[in-house]
Amino acid sequence: MPAAHIVDVMTVSGARWERLVAMSATGTLGASGLPLIRLAARMGFAADAANRPVQGGLVLFGTAGKVRATVLIDDVPTRVSAGVETMPASWRSRFSPCEDMIDGVALLPDGAQAAMIDLPLGVNAPRAAVAGAPERDTAHLLVRAGRAQLEAVRIAAVRDLRPLDEVPGLAVLPSAALPRGRQRMLLEFGGQGDVVAVDEVVGLAPQGRIERVGSLRFLATPTGRYRLLEPGGTQPARAVTKRVLVTAPEDAGRSALRDLVRSMGHEVSLADDPRAARLAGGRFDVILFDLDAYEDVRAGGVEATDGAQRIGLAAGALPAAPRGFARVVPAGDAVALALALLRRA
């Protein structure tokens, strides 16, 4: 963060820190009337209850020594001199969901690079929408549920799913009609907690639009029309959004994976440094990791104590989940990935 307009920085902890956190929710620093924002919230990062900070910094912004705004930082800030360069346009997507706030790259004395935050004095203004951001909450699964016709399920409406043979007290007979690797699944929706059993999850539906015919709803796509399976009254008022980090070499495959996960309604960031599998878990709910590209992690796994769910991606015969990983799914299998993201850790 550039220091040109910083009047002062104070370290806060304990009860004072908690009071400032509460004030940041209302956007005002006590009776002063000064704008107060929490930088993590401004950048689009949800609060992490498992790694809740107990101290941080209060930064006073202004000009000519007059304070005009304040910012709360979830860490103790330090001052350092650095050279600043323009950030390449191709890097911007790596900083989702706060790419609109990144103004450049700072080159630190130890050789590390840091994103420079562009924080004007009007810090309490809403974060601008990013041009060209993909539409959220558009992905649907195609399923079979006792009918010859395929039906559609909105991914963001599903709260959890489990194979039927893992449900306690339920006996499931094997079926030779199911494709290899597919299982009967129990889908749990939000709202009233309705559940629906399906014989097979077939694949992802093409993007389309929702149409109503009387009391029924259909997903109309260029390749077909599918009845929506989830009960209309049970859709959650707000879909659960996960923070997902995709760690893979920069190529078309990684971009396609990013777009797929975003279409499911999740926040997505990108990384190509394998150390992200170990170090970035505190900021993300899920880390998707290319095990084929990083052999060291594939062989040794990672040591991490954060709450992030790590899912490996691998081509060919799937290896056992490395240390620190919840599971491994086939690279390029959109259905397997969607199911892995839906399953609770």
In this prediction, residue 202 carries a pLDDT of: 85
CA angle 29, 34, 39 (to 5 degrees): 70
In this prediction, residue 123 carries a pLDDT of: 43
In this prediction, residue 46 carries a pLDDT of: 60
In this prediction, residue 237 carries a pLDDT of: 43
- What are the backbone dihedrals phi and psi of residue 35, each rounded to the nearest 5 degrees, phi first? -60, 140
- The 10s digit of each residue's pLDDT in 69-88 is 888 888 888 888 888 888 77
CA angle 102, 103, 108 (to 5 degrees): 90
In this prediction, residue 289 carries a pLDDT of: 94
- CB neighbour list of residue 90: distance below 8 Å, 6 or more residues apart: none
pTM of the predicted structure, to 2 decimals = 0.52
Q: Which residues of the chain have pLDDT under 50?
A: 122-137, 233-238
- Strand 216-221 with 224-228, pairing: antiparallel
Q: For residues 235 and 220, what is the distance between their CA atoms, to the nearest angstrom?
A: 19
Q: Percentage of the chain with pLDDT > 90? A: 11
In this prediction, residue 183 carries a pLDDT of: 72
Q: Which of 287, 295, 300, 342 is nearest to 314 (CA)?
A: 295
- C-alpha dist (Å) from residue 171 to 147, 166, 191, 194: 21, 9, 27, 20
In this prediction, residue 280 carries a pLDDT of: 74
- The 10s digit of each residue's pLDDT in 205-237 is 888 888 887 777 888 888 888 988 866 544 444
